[in-house]
Amino acid sequence: MYELTPITERSYYIQSPAKIGLVRLNETDVILIDSGSDKDAGRKVRQILDAQGWNLTAIYNIHSNADHIGGNKYLQAQTNCKVYAPGIECTFTNHPILEPSFLYGGYPPQELRHKFLLAQESAAEPLTPAALPEGFSALPLPGHFFDMVGYRTPDGVVYLADCLASRETLNKYRIPFVYDVAAYLKTLEMVKSLQAKMFVPSHAPAAESVAELAQYNIDSVWAVAEDILTFCEEPVGFETLLQWLFSHYGLTMTFEQYALVGSTLRSYLAWLKDSGRLTAGFEDNALLWQRA
């Protein structure tokens, strides 16, 4: 863990629970794509930088989930580097209490105010084309989170953020976090046709082609949707439906999983309703969902 893995002469990634990209701008200056989950991750990244004699100039976050921005504050304090984040992700990065609050749907209990969901605040600036190094481009990848992006480097490496889950993750957990299901499917269809020297997803192996994995993720979304529709043959409330999904997929309910899977389920329900596959109505002051 936290080994520096070369991809090209300029582009690397650091193996961690969410891969950290590293790109050399010249002989001494480098940028990071994400910073790891916490201060400890930031410290390990700093050790790599020091060992190589590299100067960190900026961190480019792909989105604002805590496992991607948790090392920002430490590295920014140690190196005085800039931090950039796209769109609304910049606000979440500057005010990380927004992540657990959004997931829970209100002020989060203590069980959700920990480093996995609540990063330390960092001073991020909005990502603009002018903020990118020469030859870099940001690749919009909405769906997993609000304004998530990937990055394409001048030497043809694409850091793909969280738009792909590995087969192992999908087979084990079945329902990874998704904010906007329709946008997520559109992103996956786009990713299938992308060309690059190498793709580096945050939570799947680096590969020269990701088309098959993208399709596997697409198929997984539709399988989850069909499971939800199957359980909605009769009117059912959200909590009952969530309990059924946990039992059906062999998951264990915790505050963290309640927030993550619960938020994802709400996104599926909204998508299925908006696309005409589900109806929703109120009965005895309860919101009930039913297959259309």
Check whether domain 1-133 has CATH 3.60.15.10, yes or no? yes
Give me the pLDDT at residue 13, please.
Answer: 98
- Angstrom distances, CA of residue 117 to CA of 97, 114, 121, 186, 279: 8, 6, 12, 26, 32
Give me the pLDDT at residue 132, please.
Answer: 98
Token pair belonging to 211: 């088309």
As a CATH number, domain 231-291 is 1.10.10
Q: Which of 86, 61, 91 is nearest to 76 (CA)?
A: 61
Global confidence as pTM: 0.97
| Sequence ranges of the chain with CATH classification 1.10.10 | 231-291
SS3 assignment, position 118: coil
Give me the pLDDT at residue 75, please.
Answer: 98
Long-range pairs of 242-248 with CB within 8 A, sequence gap ≥ 24: 245/175
Task: For the chain, 292 residues long, give each residue's pLDDT as a single digit of tens.
Answer: 999 999 999 999 999 999 999 999 999 999 999 999 999 999 999 999 999 999 999 999 999 999 999 999 999 999 999 999 999 999 999 999 999 999 999 999 999 999 999 999 999 999 999 999 999 999 999 999 999 999 999 999 999 999 999 999 999 999 999 999 999 999 999 999 999 999 999 999 999 999 999 999 999 999 999 999 999 999 999 999 999 999 999 999 999 999 999 999 999 999 999 999 999 999 999 999 999 9
| Sequence ranges of the chain with CATH classification 3.60.15.10 | 1-133
